[in-house]
Amino acid sequence: MTQRKTEVFVGLFMIAGFVALLLLALQVSGLSLKPAGDTYTVYADFNDAGGLTERGRVSMAGVSVGRIRDISLNPKTFQARVAIEMDASVNNIPDDSTAVIRTSGLLGAQYIDISVGGSLESLKDGDEFYETQSAMNLERMISNFASGR
């Protein structure tokens, strides 16, 4: 085995390794090479954040328009305060829109869906959603139904 041949093989090996890493980044984790676009943050207070997770999806009409950055407890109202990073390109959401927690499929992950309101003013960085609708709680629903309320 000549030194040169060895060097070529080792070079190929390292290239294969880096190509694999690139594949993991682009194909598997869906990392996009274009810089993450500008975002602005809006807040939504839910009575029950249910199964929302950080990095969860935020969508309008089924199209992803942002992601959940942080979920914390609002100490004044004892509600779940969810910080949402909205894509800057979606800058005309009416400020009376409603944030709704929905489930994808019957058992799938929960996400926030924004149902559009009718106001002419739009949400800006740091604003809060006017109205929210909490996670559907199957157990509570059944007990409500059973007690006839």
Residues in contact with other proteins by the rule CB under 8 A: 1, 3, 6-7, 9-10, 12-14, 16-18, 20-21, 23-25, 27-31, 55, 57, 105, 107-108
The strands making up 39-46's β-sheet, listed across from edge to edge, are 39-46, 79-87, 63-74, 57-60, 110-115, 98-103, 131-133
How, if at all, do strands 98-103 and 131-133 pair? parallel
Q: Give least dist CB 113 to other proteins, A.
A: 16
Q: How far apart are CA 49 and CA 114, in angstroms?
A: 15
Give the residue with the Cβ less far from other proteins, 17 or 51: 17
Give the residue with the Cβ less far from other proteins, 16 or 116: 16
Q: By C-alpha distance, which of 41, 40, 43, 68 is closest to 128? A: 43
Q: Give least dist CB 10 to other proteins, A.
A: 5
Give the residue with the Cβ less far from other proteins, 25 or 142: 25
Q: Give least dist CB 33 to other proteins, A.
A: 11
Q: How far apart are CA 122 and CA 141, in angstroms?
A: 34
Give the residue with the Cβ less far from other proteins, 2 or 147: 2
DSSP string, 88-132: TT----BTT-EEEEEESTTTS-EEEEEEP---SSB--TT-B-SEE
Q: Give least dist CB 137 to other proteins, A.
A: 21
Give the residue with the Cβ less far from other proteins, 5 or 76: 5
Q: Give least dist CB 124 to other proteins, A.
A: 28
